[in-house]
Amino acid sequence: MTTLSQEAARAETRPADAGPATPPVLSVRDVHIHDRASDREIVHGVSFDLTPGRTVGIVGESGSGKTLTCRATLGILPPHFEVSAGTIEIDGTDTATLTGRQWTELRGSTISAVFQDPSSYLNPSLRVGAQIAEVLRVKTGLKRREARLRALELLRAVHLRDPELVYGQYTFELSGGMLQRVLIAAAIAAGPRILIADEATTALDVTVQAEILDLLADLRESTGLALVVVSHDLAVVAQLCDEVLVMRQGEVVEHGPTRTVLDTPRHPYTRLLVDEHESYGLDRFLAPKEEAA
Amino acid sequence: MVRRVLSLTSGRIAVAVLAVIALLAILGPWLAPHDPLATSDDTLAAACGPHWLGTDHLGRDVLSRLLDGSRISVLGSLEVAGVALAVGAIPGILSVYLGRVFEWFTLRLTDTLVALPFLLFAVAVIALLGNGITQAMLVTGTLVSPLFYRVARAATLTVARSPYVEAALISGASLGWIVRRHVWAKVLPPIAVALAQTIGVGFVIVSSLTFLGIGVQPPEPTWGGLLASDLGYLDYRPWGPLAPAALIMATVWACNLLADAIRDVSGEAGRALLNGRKARAHRLGTPDTAPTGGA
Amino acid sequence: MSADQPHAAPTDTPVLSVTGLDVHYGKRRARRQALHGLTLTVAPGETLGVIGETGSGKSTFARTVLGLVRPSAGSVVIDGEDVSGHHPRQWRALRRRGVVQYVFQDPLRSLDPDLTIEDSLTEPLLVRGVARPEAARRARALLDRVRLPEDLLGRLPGELSGGQRQRVAVARALITEPRLLILDEPASALDSANRVQILDILKELRADGVALVLISHDLGSVAGAADRIAVLYQGRAVEVGPAADVINTPQHLYTRLLVSSAPTLHTAAASRTEREALRALLHA
């Protein structure tokens, strides 16, 4: 097991131990998001709690409001959007009270994110290793040489086979899966407690997607990272998440433990998503196996 | 295309101004009240009864000279644009389809033309072919053609590699069909923009050449020539250059405005612009063609 | 709905027969081999799923069958005609027979943005000399078949939604009544409701006896529709067989990883250790 940071060492509790007594690291309560440009409410009341080591999944198509919700929790809503009602608390602090500087402090060290198209989040003119090192130097104040060493450790932690080589490469030399790993490394560099993965695997081949999802599960187990996984694919969420929110046109149409939602969907939209997999996907062929612990 | 351009205010203004200029070019010589070449003793007169814009240093009626010269000036710049189009755009489109050798050859030729010092080349060619407006325009057109070559080639390349052209190919379309149906419509807007700009530039070039005595010989009036001769007598007729300068400016400005208008209604941005207008006109919402970032 | 038996009897000529296909890209030092000795057949009315990751050669395979790429070795036989050595004019003649058609992955870019839907739909017919009124009539009939309203004919692609565009692309591919239809990631760019619609349309096509080749990187997206599956890995077909067999009893290491990686509702969470083991073996 790799120890990624001081904070991670603290949160060595395995997911099973994170019972109801543990305070949530992220708490979203009845959040409404309003678009000032078109004067419409886009997200109508999203609520969930995230405790360390657990994973919440948000499923929805484009237009469902899932990305806006993520951006709200990170404090990066587009200019004409605002949280019009409800509260978002990160580690107990109401984010509405945060100044710009406090937000900057929070991002990376408490809450972090990876998004869909990895190559657009890295500078193509710089080597990728240097970009991770930059995060380390800014957030944790490490000197140049130490930052490089930590960056290599991080690259190893995200299961890159030859960290030394990758450190010196440019984005165009790396595949989509490798780039996403680099971004995950950068995202966890400062030891955040929450990681949001917004369609992080959508642009990747299915085998690579599985690798990234397995990596996230691994990180969750080794560091107690709390995950929010957002996808349009119910199965991606099924693979990784303890509880699921299904969003449609800004509303949460279903919310509950993953197994319950998948086995006994109540809302017709959820049922549509489940049926699609069961009629056209692999589920038809494969016999359900016993879930591993 | 024409309809779309006219739907924009800028397009309408540009076309209107250019229409007036075109009328001047066609009817100008006939409208001239006096013989533009007739000298008189009434030199450097201000605006007065018989001479609305006064007379120049040789007593010739300025208005008549302006009107008479408009045909040559306008035709000259059109010739420049036409030559540039033919010499540049056609090889540009063909360079994508006629193979490596042709492509290499035309690319190097274009590079050479860009590198040539314009005036030296013009003078050299005139020396070879004799001095005349047609030769001058040919030379100028050739020297300006690289723009058309590059624009046409770039537009064709973009289209040639696109999935919809492959789809046409897969359905059994011939090269001619693809060029006619797909390539031409995409190449036309950037070329139209280049054309509009070149007409404007052509004007300035014709004027410069006449200023230097290349192409049009005095006493033939051209707008540029008038500007040149007027500048010599600013002490006596300080307002003299105003009229030819205004005409040149108006034409170049209208051409650039037209070029802008064509660009505004073309391509991705153009379609979005027109879609938006259509939607507002019909009070329908346009369907979301691309998911918005915040969704 | 179970994977139906292909309609063809074993003696029928396959619609597509690829044997020992080698395809190379690039020149001199940059020369790469995209396909190695690929051998596949598609029987009339059968649906073949071709699965592979980026770089596996699946797109090259499609492009070779369509004549956009020339094979370096081996043979490609379409509907009894050996096209391996065809030059452009012969390809054009074959294409005008309308035997093979293709649906691109990205519906937005596969339709000319300046042409109306009607223009795009009728193009495959107009290039072979069908009269415009007749072509327009068939375009209307096809829109109906892909469940799109007729008033879309006069619109531009930019005015349609992604799902509608994809269905237009399918309609265009069907207008020449092809015997073989190749679809590249037919549903990946679409949302749930549209995906289901496309898959339903494909189901109807199978019932009509059209042979389909579904190309994808995701086993799950073609599993429900395919009779047989061919798995491509690094330019080679590492496993070919009936869909149910390939999925339930995969033989090759990569196929096992594919099955294990495909997101499913009930099983994917369980296979993490299995995937780790397979990856380790594969990269050894």
* DSSP calls for chain B: -HHHHHTSHHHHHHHHHHHHHHHHHHHHHHH-SS-TT---S-TT--S-SS-TT-B-TTS-BHHHHHHHHHHHHHHHHHHHHHHHIIIIIHHHHHTTTS-HHHHHHHHHHHHHHHHS-HHHHHHHHHHHH-S-HHHHHHHHHHHHHHHHHHHHHHHHHHHHTSHHHHHHHHTT--HHHHIIIIIHHHHHHHHHHHHHHHHHHHHHHHHHHHHHTSSSPTTS--HHHHHHHHHTTTTT-TTTTHHHHHHHHHHHHHHHHHHHHHHHTSHHHHHHHHHHHHHHHHT-PPP-SS--TT-
Average pLDDT, stretch B30-41?
76
Confidence bin at B58 (pLDDT 50/70/90): confident
Report yes or no: B288 at the A interface, CB cutoff 8 Å. Answer: yes
Nearest CA-CA distance, residue C248 and chain B, Å: 36
Q: Is the per-residue pLDDT at C241 higher than 90? A: yes
State the pLDDT at residue C36. 92
Domain that holds residue A127: 29-282
User: Where does chain C show beta strands of DSSP type E?
Assistant: 16-25, 32-42, 47-51, 73-78, 81-82, 100-103, 180-184, 211-216, 228-233, 236-242
DSSP for A5-74, please give it: -HHHHHT---GGG--TTSPPSEEEEEEEEEETTTTEEEEEEEEEEE-TT-EEEEE--TTSSHHHHHHHHH
Size of interface A-C (CB pairs under 8 A): 129
What pLDDT, in 10s, does the model give residues A164-189? 999 999 998 898 899 999 999 999 99
At A226, which CATH number?
3.40.50.300
Is residue A293, in this structure, part of any structural domain at all? no
Query: Across the interface, which of A175, A211, A239 has its CB nearest the CB of C269?
Result: A239
Q: Do C127 and B186 touch (CB under 8 A)?
A: no
Angle between helices C162-174 and C132-145 (to 10 degrees): 130
Q: How far apart (Å, rounded) are the C-alpha atoms in residues A30 and A41? A: 13
Average pLDDT, stretch A110-135?
92
State the pLDDT at residue B268. 66
Domains held by chain B: number: 1
C8 vs A53, residue with greater confidence: A53
Is residue B237, in this structure, part of any structural domain at all? yes
Nearest residue in chain A measured CA to CA from B293: A67
Report yes or no: B287 at the A interface, CB cutoff 8 Å. Answer: no
Q: What are phi and psi of C71, to 5 degrees?
A: -70, 150
C5 vs C30, residue with greater confidence: C30
Average pLDDT, stretch A27-47?
91
Q: Which residues of B are less than 8 Å from A81 in CB distance?
A: 294
Report yes or no: C73 at the A interface, CB cutoff 8 Å. Answer: no
State the pLDDT at residue C11. 53
Is residue A249, in this structure, part of any structural domain at all? yes
Q: How far apart (Å, rounded) are the C-alpha atoms in residues B157 and A280? A: 40
Q: Do A78 and B294 touch (CB under 8 A)?
A: yes
Q: Where are the domains of chain C?
A: 17-250
Lateral strand order in the sheet of C16-25:
C32-42, C16-25, C73-78, C81-82
Report yes or no: C98 at the B interface, CB cutoff 8 Å. Answer: yes
C9 vs A157, residue with greater confidence: A157
State the pLDDT at residue B1. 67
Confidence bin at B282 (pLDDT 50/70/90): low
Q: How far apart (Å, rounded) are the C-alpha atoms in residues B202 and B137? A: 9
Q: How far apart (Å, rounded) are the C-alpha atoms in residues A215 and A184? A: 9
Report yes or no: C16 at the A interface, CB cutoff 8 Å. Answer: no
Write the CA distances from A26 to A48, A54, C23, C110, integer angstroms: 8, 11, 53, 43
Is residue A95, in this structure, part of any structural domain at all? yes
Report yes or no: C95 at the B interface, CB cutoff 8 Å. Answer: yes
State the pLDDT at residue B264. 82
Q: Has this prediction a pTM greater than 0.90?
A: no
Report yes or no: C154 at the B interface, CB cutoff 8 Å. Answer: no
Chains that touch A (3 or more CB pairs under 8 A): B, C
Domain that holds residue B145: 2-43+56-279
Nearest residue in chain B measured CA to CA from A76: B294
Query: Strand A55-59 and strand A81-90: pairing?
Result: unpaired
Nearest CA-CA distance, residue C109 and chain B, Å: 6
Is residue B251, in this structure, part of any structural domain at all? yes
State the pLDDT at residue B32. 77
State the pLDDT at residue C269. 67
Q: Which residues of A are less than 8 Å from B292 in CB distance?
A: 63
Q: Is the peptide bond before B219 cis (omega within 30 degrees of 0)?
A: yes
Q: Best mutation site among C104, C112, C165 for testing chain B: the one with the most B CBs within 10 Å?
A: C112
Confidence bin at C160 (pLDDT 50/70/90): confident
Q: How far apart (Å, rounded) are the C-alpha atoms in residues B70 and B25? A: 5
Nearest CA-CA distance, residue A158 and chain B, Å: 28
Query: Across the interface, which of B174, B185, B287 has its CB nearest the CB of C161?
Result: B287
Determine contact, residues A248/A64, Cβ cutoff 8 Å. yes
- In this structure, which topology does domain C17-250 adopt according to CATH? Rossmann fold (3.40.50)
Is residue B175, in this structure, part of any structural domain at all? yes
Domains held by chain A: number: 1
Is residue B292, in this structure, part of any structural domain at all? no
Our measurement of the distance from residue B178's CA atom to the centroid of its chain's CA atoms, rounded to an integer in Å, reads 28
Q: Is the per-residue pLDDT at B287 higher than 50? A: no
At B229, which CATH number?
1.10.3720.10
Nearest CA-CA distance, residue C99 and chain B, Å: 10
State the pLDDT at residue C138. 92
